[in-house]
Amino acid sequence: MDKLTDKIAALPPDSNYFSLEFFPPKTQQGFSNLNARLSRMAQALRPLFVNVTWGAGGSTSQKSLALAEITQRELGLTTCLHLTCTNMSRKLIDEALEQAKVLGIRNILALRGDPPRSEEYMDDSDPKAQEDDSNRDFNWAVDLVRYIKKQYGEYFCVGVAGYPEGHSDQSHPENQSVEHDLPYLVEKTAAGADFIMTQLFFDVEAYHKYEKRLREHDSGVFKTIPLIPGLMPIQSYQILRRTTKLSHANLPTDILKRLEAVKGDDEAVKRVGVDILAEIVASMKKSDSVGPRGFHFYTLNLEKVAAQILERCDLIPPEPPAQEANGDAVAIEETDDFVIVDDAKKKAHRRKSSMANSQARNRVIISHTRDSSVSSNRTSAYEALDNEAGVPKEKINSRANTLAISEGEGSLGREATWDDFPNGRWGDARSPAYGEIDGYGVSLHVSVQEAKRLWGEPKTAEDISASFRKHLEGEIDSVPWSEEPLQPETLTIKDKLLALINKGWWTVASQPAVNGVRSTDPIYGWGPKNGFVFQKPFVEFFIPAAGWKKLQGKLDKHPQITYFAGNSKGDFISSDEESVNPVTWGTFTGKEIITPTIIEAVSFKAWQEEAFGIWGEWQRIYRPGSESSKLLERIRKDYWLVSVIHHGFLEEGALWDDLLKE
């Protein structure tokens, strides 16, 4: 019974269920760690199904299918694969559907993706490009729904997206309207959609009105169709503001006030966020529902907050009787990065790695009956009592213990949720959450019209420098590599960044040096309130190839500098490719040192590909052959992306003097 609609129909009419959404990580380490995380969440939480996202234009197709294979085949989780249909190879749609069928996946969330832009995405060097253009047959999600039903009949259970606050085309929230969307949703449903899954929202009243409007619609197509609300656990204040901005979701005043009051304390934000989501779920549970009430959680590939919300809301289904009995030694996790082994009948010491965050996470728990002589001086430091490991001595792999680990309890829980602090562009490449928060793929995150309004039609490199300067001065909200206004922390080094831009080096990421500032500091603070935070200065920028050649020679002579550099061809150079560089860390009462931001070769390479992909996306908004298009293509091919870290964070002028002084 792998079709969502069948699983939902089999539930008692007054019951509740939930599903979880994941996106394919950017790095192999992230994939490996997500595999371990999914295994743990599958055992502890038992979602009715999981969703796997698909990048715009098929940009994550291989990784999405690989992740779907893990969830469907390896973990036995009913999987719903997202599929977009515009600006991509026509063949890719058929290949994805066939591969999904081979994997045993019976559920597809049919989405449009970005607005069709054939001229911009077509490869003119391919003689079959026009024939293989998906936009010839697919301009809207309804086209994909019809196609799947025509080709596969009822094999696939097909879902479509709903927008409780109206759909906005990236940059025009004033045009959002549920009434404007309704004819399109009617059309998608009449074409054969089997369920509706909504975009994230925090305005519960807006959702209740939306659900009522659908159920009472004159067409009658929404009377009994499963309508699954989308909810996003609050991981951090910044991530919340960014996602609500991108999705144009309203943040009710009372919710915003509660989060504003604690926004400087990341742990408090998570606690308040759990309260807020629990209240939303409780409110929705009380409302009338056609059939079982579902809740879909956008996890952002993180587990701790999601697990806490699910337990608080009593959404975790009971454990089947067959799973209660447990045998002898079992491995509950076995991947490249995690191994946990235990004998449930033995009462003794266990060994664990204490190296969370800064090294690959290899955690081994063994019975003390193993001769102590096997412990070298190096590894004996990692031995701990059972209660120190945070796991009861009996049944390490019981569901209750696994849930406790997912919620971050004990040492094992802390290691399992080691990447719980804000992730994203600058995080740890080993985290499943590293990279884009939505897994959507390379995108400008604005419409063509908005992009031209923000950045005009550049004809020279100086025009591009002007856009970067305007962003620093607050005259425009974004540049292609950053869709948000600058943070107060960045403004403390604004004069340094402006000086680099005036040299023709366009900065896309940076941070100042910080030495032991309180974690509650309004500019530099993060994490729990009872701590101190530190930062090494770094900056990342695009630089012409000739300028990079000159700068590289200078950096190579500096013993305190580490750099990573790459270009659009995939060339990569580093002063120390094997180096692991924590550039942000914090010390907090009763906690291990936390290092949420680490720069290393693997994370730089993952970003390098995306950063140059964004140049391509920017180029595509202009007519092929136009001055702007040719300029952006020349820059993409010539420039290097360079990240420079200065380890002497206590030295005055560290980094900036080295870059700015001739």
pLDDT over 80 at 565, yes or no: yes
Question: Taking a C-beta distance cutoff of 8 angstroms, is the pair 227, 237 a contact?
Answer: no
21 is catalytic: yes
Using CA atoms, how far residue 150 sits from 143, 144, 195, 409, 487, in Å, is 11, 10, 18, 49, 50
Cα angle 343-345-348, degrees, rounded to a multiple of 5: 75
* Tens-place pLDDT, residues 291-327: 999 999 999 998 989 999 999 999 999 876 654 444 3
pLDDT for position 447: 79
Domains of the chain and any CATH numbers? 4-302 (3.20.20.220), 323-416 (no CATH), 448-660 (no CATH)
Question: Taking a C-beta distance cutoff of 8 angstroms, is the pair 435, 424 a contact?
Answer: yes
CA distance 445 to 610: 13
Which of helix, strand or coil describes residue 245? helix
pLDDT over 60 at 424, yes or no: no
pLDDT over 70 at 86, yes or no: yes
pLDDT over 60 at 18, yes or no: yes
**pLDDT (average), residues 456-481:** 95
Lowest mean pLDDT among 52-61, 330-339, 501-510, 537-546: 330-339
Q: Categorize the per-residue pLDDT at 385 as very low, low, confident or very high, splitting at 50, 70 and 90.
A: very low
Between residues 96 and 327, the one the model is more confident about: 96
pLDDT for position 598: 86
**Share above pLDDT 90 across residues of the chain, in percent, rounded to a whole number:** 56
**pLDDT (average), residues 578-590:** 92
* Tens-place pLDDT, residues 212-250: 999 999 999 999 999 999 999 998 888 898 888 888 899
State the DSSP code for 115. P
Average pLDDT, the chain: 82
Candidates 397, 432, 417, 378; CA nearest to 591 is 417
pLDDT for position 426: 52
Between residues 435 and 458, the one the model is more confident about: 458
pLDDT for position 266: 81
pLDDT for position 428: 67
* Tens-place pLDDT, residues 257-300: 999 999 878 888 999 999 999 999 999 999 989 999 999 999 99
**pLDDT (average), residues 507-526:** 93
CA distance 365 to 567: 43
Question: Taking a C-beta distance cutoff of 8 angstroms, is the pair 618, 451 a contact?
Answer: yes
Candidates 247, 246, 243; CA nearest to 234 is 243
Using CA atoms, how far residue 43 sits from 36, 231, 310, 591, in Å, is 11, 22, 14, 27
Lowest mean pLDDT among 517-521, 526-530, 610-614: 526-530
* Tens-place pLDDT, residues 633-653: 999 999 999 999 999 999 999
pLDDT for position 248: 86
**pLDDT (average), residues 601-612:** 88
- Cα-to-chain-centroid distance, residue 8: 27
Using CA atoms, how far residue 474 sits from 194, 344, 392, in Å, is 46, 60, 54
* Tens-place pLDDT, residues 122-163: 555 555 555 656 667 788 899 999 999 999 999 999 999 999
pLDDT over 80 at 442, yes or no: no
Candidates 408, 411, 403; CA nearest to 365 is 411
pLDDT for position 1: 57
Question: Taking a C-beta distance cutoff of 8 angstroms, is the pair 647, 536 a contact?
Answer: yes
CA distance 392 to 403: 13
CA quadruple 30, 32, 34, 40: dihedral sign: negative
pLDDT over 60 at 372, yes or no: no
Between residues 636 and 448, the one the model is more confident about: 636
Range from 352-356, 373-377, 495-499 that averages highest in pLDDT: 495-499
Candidates 481, 427, 421; CA nearest to 612 is 481
Question: Taking a C-beta distance cutoff of 8 angstroms, is the pair 564, 643 a contact?
Answer: yes
* Tens-place pLDDT, residues 152-163: 999 999 999 999
Using CA atoms, how far residue 329 sits from 277, 404, 514, in Å, is 38, 20, 47
**Share above pLDDT 70 across residues of the chain, in percent, rounded to a whole number:** 77
pLDDT over 60 at 118, yes or no: no
The number of residues in the chain equals 662
CA atoms within 13 A on the CB side of 256: 8
Using CA atoms, how far residue 577 sits from 117, 604, 659, in Å, is 39, 10, 21
pLDDT over 80 at 166, yes or no: yes
